[in-house]
């Protein structure tokens, strides 16, 4: 039985064993290593570039970039420093003020990574959004954040132009590849290749509590929430990247997450660069041979991926991996969904290395539970809390930690580590609800075993986790209701062999509309265009009516339980509010 087998890891991590690191831990270790408190600036943008250059690494490659069309670019830490200064200056010239929200609506092009640093340097709040978002997803998030500027590419400009009239706070759209384009009022071009590189820029004097990034994440109710990160997050992201991802100075690191999601910023920008580590970026979608070719060409040594991607690779078999020289790989880690034991065993066959599961959330900002390098891996377990993070499985009723191992409860974290978000944008009540009895409640259920390893059980809410991306049912249902044929709808998770879950919609039609495959496809496409390919229902069931509570709220749990073959439970209590 896989799950009970323990994989001994002889190798020691970067910095010492898990047990050694637990004793006497405090976050000041990272602050000290980074020179924090010696009068250095606290601005993350400075720490990712100027501080690394001060260490004598200005000529070291920071970004090895490959585009979908095969184009390649390399940027050193010196380039990053000067170009991010140039972006910061350009944005200031456009009248953007510190604390204004500046959205990155870009594919994974170099401009995204450079502008991320530049916005932080001028004191702006970076709002990264997935470039595949449709108009509705974009509008909701830009409206909520009161975004003042958006950086984008020609190919995504149409979506912004179509919603612009509904965004009163949006003053400027900056197009990073505007050549040959007729710009309209309020649109400007910013071409990094021709922009003069700037030796000096008056850095915004961020404090630890200055807002840095606003990441939108989905909940069960209401529209997505803006998770508000601050500059102090750097401390946790630096140290977890070093100790959990085991980053070392000669590594070439690859995080295949898009910076529209938190993994792509915490560990796709801040983690590696604050450690002065070279990272490679591939701006194209999944393809087993393409990915292996990238690892081979770029000599990737540390790879941070996700279970859905690993399952896609598994489908291709180990022979596809064996056709490539992947001997550069040294450490593998995964995040976003439960990592099944089979994936850990398969990766040992394919790469000679196990994937190390890590667990965290947009809200936590950094890895909080993980298989620490050098610690025995129990395949299927998320591992143990990072030193400095107090985690427990709580009895759902008393919210006290379970005394005996093996009992299912809610994962609670003691608040207070540097990268915990400081609030939800415009939504203090939503944030306050996440805390009780002195714990931050993750909303995930787990067990903890006698050795202190955590085992994921499931989410405590109706949020759908598809391929590691959270989709809020409310957002999908709201989009569905805008379709002329839809009277009412419910979106729930349906099990899926690769993506773990996909969206399934139950729809009651308005009179005069007939269910059928054409209408099903039309409605799916309607959601894909409005929201995103991820939020699009993969299946639609037309029903006469939906299960409701006595006061009329739709009970998604009943529909979900049927999809998962789980008992529905006592319907009389389920139907109560």
The residues of the shown chain that bind ligand PRX, judged by CB under 6 A, are 217, 261-263, 335-338, 357-362, 382, 442, 444, 456, 459, 465, 470
Distance of CA 49 to the CA centre of its chain: 22
Residue 380, Ramachandran bin (φ over 0: left; ψ between -120 and 50: alpha; else beta): left
Identity of the residue, 353 or 575, whose beta carbon is nearer to ligand PRX in the bound complex: 353
Complex with ligand PRX: residue 89 or 310, whichever CB lies closer: 310
Pick between residue 90 and residue 227 the one whose CB is nearest to ligand PRX. 227
Smallest distance, Å, CB 308 to ligand PRX? 12
Q: Nearest distance from residue 39's CB to ligand PRX, in Å?
A: 33
* Nearer residue to ligand PRX within complex by CB, 96 or 368: 368
**To the nearest whole angstrom, how small is the minimum distance from the Cβ of residue 93 to ligand PRX?**
35
User: Which run of H or E residues covers position 319?
Assistant: helix 318-322
387-420 burial by CB neighbour count: b if 16+ within 10 A, else e? Answer: bbbebbbbeeeebebbeeeeeebbbbbeeebbbb
Beta bridge partners of 369: 359, 385
Give the H or E element holding residue 75.
Answer: strand 72-76
Q: Which residue is nearest to ligand PRX (CB)?
A: 362
Alpha-carbon distance 259 to 213, whole Å?
A: 11
Residue-wise burial string across 223-261, b where 16 or more C-beta atoms lie within 10 A, e elsewhere: bbbbbbbbbbbbbbbbbbbbbbbbbbeebbbbbbbbbbb
Shortest Å distance, C-beta 335 to ligand PRX: 5
Q: What separation in angstroms does the CA of 4 have from each of 1, 40, 41, 177, 449?
A: 6, 48, 48, 53, 11
| Token reading at 9 | 């890891």
Of 49 and 334, the one with the shorter C-beta distance to ligand PRX is: 334
Residue closest to 259 by CA, chosen among 122, 141, 104? 104
Least distance to ligand PRX from the beta carbon of 247, Å?
Answer: 17
Which lies closer to ligand PRX via its Cβ, residue 96 or residue 534? 534
Shortest Å distance, C-beta 453 to ligand PRX:
12
**Tokens 């495959």 sit at which residue?**
517
Shortest distance in whole angstroms from residue 456 CB to ligand PRX? 4
Shortest approach of ligand PRX to residue 361 CB, angstroms?
4
Closer Cβ to ligand PRX, 65 or 304, answer by number: 304
Residue 63's contacts (CB-CB under 8 Å, 6 or more residues apart) are: 73, 74, 75, 80, 110, 113, 278, 279, 280, 281
Residue number, 144 or 357, with CB nearest to ligand PRX:
357
């Amino acid at each position: 039985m896989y799950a009970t087998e323990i994989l001994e890891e002889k190798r020691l991590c970067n910095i010492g064993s898990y047990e050694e690191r637990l004793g006497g831990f405090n976050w000041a270790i990272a602050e000290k290593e980074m020179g924090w408190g010696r009068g250095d600036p606290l601005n993350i943008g400075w720490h990712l570039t100027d501080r690394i250059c001060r260490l004598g690494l200005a000529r070291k490659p920071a970004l090895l970039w490959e585009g979908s069309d095969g184009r390649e670019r390399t940027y050193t830490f010196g380039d990053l420093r000067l170009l991010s200064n140039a972006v910061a200056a350009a944005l200031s010239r456009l009248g953007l003020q510190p604390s204004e929200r500046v959205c990155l609506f870009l594919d994974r092009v170099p401009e995204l990574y450079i502008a991320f640093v530049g916005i932080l340097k001028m004191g702006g709040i970076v709002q990264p959004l997935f470039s595949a978002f449709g108009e509705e997803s974009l509008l909701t998030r830009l409206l909520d954040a009161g975004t003042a500027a958006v950086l984008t590419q020609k190919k995504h400009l149409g979506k912004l132009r179509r919603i612009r009239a509904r965004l009163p706070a949006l003053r400027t759209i900056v197009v990073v590849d505007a050549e040959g384009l007729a710009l309209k009022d309020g649109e400007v071009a910013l071409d990094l290749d021709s922009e003069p590189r700037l030796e000096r820029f008056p850095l915004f004097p961020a404090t630890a509590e200055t807002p840095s990034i606003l990441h939108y994440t989905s909940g069960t109710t209401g529209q997505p929430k803006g998770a508000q990160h601050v500059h102090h997050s750097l401390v946790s992201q630096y140290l977890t990247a070093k100790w959990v991802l085991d980053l070392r100075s000669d590594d070439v690191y690859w995080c295949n997450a898009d910076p529209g999601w938190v993994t792509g910023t915490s560990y796709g920008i801040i983690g590696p660069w604050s450690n002065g580590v070279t990272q490679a970026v591939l701006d194209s979608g999944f393809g087993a041979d393409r990915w292996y070719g990238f690892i081979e060409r770029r000599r990737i040594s540390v790879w941070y991926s996700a279970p859905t991607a690993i399952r896609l690779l598994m489908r291709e078999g180990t022979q596809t991996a064996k056709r490539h020289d992947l001997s550069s790989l040294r450490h593998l880690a995964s995040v976003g969904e439960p990592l099944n034991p089979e994936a850990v065993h398969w990766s040992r066959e394919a790469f000679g290395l196990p994937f190390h599961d890590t667990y965290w959330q947009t809200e936590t900002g950094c890895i909080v539970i993980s298989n620490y390098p050098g610690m025995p891996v129990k395949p299927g377990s998320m591992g143990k809390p990072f030193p400095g993070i107090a985690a427990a499985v709580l009895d759902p009723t008393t919210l006290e930690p379970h005394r005996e191992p093996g009992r299912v409860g809610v994962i609670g974290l003691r608040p207070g580590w540097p990268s915990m978000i400081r609030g939800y944008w415009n939504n203090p009540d939503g944030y306050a609800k996440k805390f009780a009895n002195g714990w931050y409640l993750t909303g995930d259920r787990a067990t903890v075993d006698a050795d202190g390893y955590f085992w994921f059980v499931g989410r405590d809410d109706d949020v759908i986790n598809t391929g590691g991306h959270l989709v809020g049912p409310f957002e999908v249902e709201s989009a569905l209701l805008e379709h002329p044929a839809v009277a009412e709808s419910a979106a729930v998770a349906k099990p899926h062999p690769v993506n773990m879950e996909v969206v399934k919609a139950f729809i009651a039609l308005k009179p005069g509309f007939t269910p059928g495959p054409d209408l099903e496809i039309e409605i799916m496409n309607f959601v894909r265009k409005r929201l995103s390919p991820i939020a699009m229902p993969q299946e639609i069931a037309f029903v006469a009516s939906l299960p409701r509570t006595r006061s009329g709220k739709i009970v998604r749990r009943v529909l979900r339980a049927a999809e998962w073959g789980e008992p529905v439970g006592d319907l009389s209590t389920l139907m109560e509010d």
